[in-house]
Structure 1
Amino acid sequence: MRVERLSQDKIRIFLTFDDLHERGIEKEDIWRDIPKVHDLFNDMMEQAYHELGFEVMGPVAVEVFAMPAQGMVVIVTRGKSQPSGDDDGDYEDDIYEMEVTLEESEDVIYYFQDMEHLIEACHRVQLNLEDGGSIYLYNDKYYFLLDEVDMENQQLYNGIIAILSEYGVASTVTKYVLAEYGKLVIRDHAIQTICHHFK
């Protein structure tokens, strides 16, 4: 489990499928109202508090992005009506009013802080997958979109995800956002094009 702050009232939590399996949670359980999921959320909030000083009481918006092979990204946003502290103090700290939304994507999208990391990743991926992918520039980051991976070959698929995770970060930005707001750098054959031009 990895936690990072996005703003004063928003954090992002990366959960691997190993994180879920350790707690006996299946991917499908994440949007069910069961004790194991509540315990997972409490663990996430505890880690966020210890690592980032991010404290949650009252209303929160929780967005869950499920991605194949990578795991899940959970965005937690604090509501504006946090308890002031001069209440009677009879509310329980571990009670949250949660509004949960879930999105699932079959696309593989990673972003890279600089072009060098993207180039290295493409050279490594090319050993497993000769061609494919698109590249966008969005919010000063390079986004690598791969939607042609052979889903049937799980070993190949997991290998590609492992390489991309080493150099980049799994993205919750969808291909539709990239198409609408990003700048298209390479439309098709991104792996081949990058490896050809950057030895």
Structure 2
Amino acid sequence: MEIERINDNTVKFYISYLDVEERGFSRDEIWFNRDKSEELFWEMMDEVNEEADFVMEGPLWIQVQAMDKGLEVTVTRAQMTKDGQKLDLPDDIEERRKMFGSDDTIAPDFDEFEPVFDEHAIKKLEYTFIFSEIEELVPLARRLEYVPIESAIYHFENKYYLHISFDELLHTEDDVKNYNSIFAEYLQGSPITIHRLEEYGTPIFKEDALSNVLHYFG
């Protein structure tokens, strides 16, 4: 996937259909299955965030253009006014077209220039990490032994993946940041989604993974 940072609030990336298929999606799915298209979008945005340091905050304005061999996606992070009500994007549709260019080919499942994905409504509380051997998790599991974090381990393409999820009722945003910093001390983050792991990976521990690591390997 090719990524181009346009400015502080806009990023453009290109993904080939071959890359789409290698990620476990078909062309029909990304055009006609909204759940699949959103899953692919968030997977790509995780990669964009890692490589281009583009933090997803607030509503996102999305333009998707179909190319001969892939998709070109432009994402702009809408800025809110101090009252939190008004977006700083132009109200006039023609002005919006000037902002994004004149391309009119838009994916059917993405409403043109509408805030389809609102980060305030969809809070990301799930993360995936990649590692080589399960024993690598033992010191991490010991450190977080009494922390209520949902966890699962999958084996996929000769690597292991730890998927964790936080309960927003139990954990504050500061909790999530602090615990994620601990995970980052031991493991490397991965853009792969739990949906792909569940569909194509082999489950090692589908729940209570950290506790099971301590029980069997600690």
TM, length-normalised to structure 1? 0.49
TM, length-normalised to structure 2? 0.45
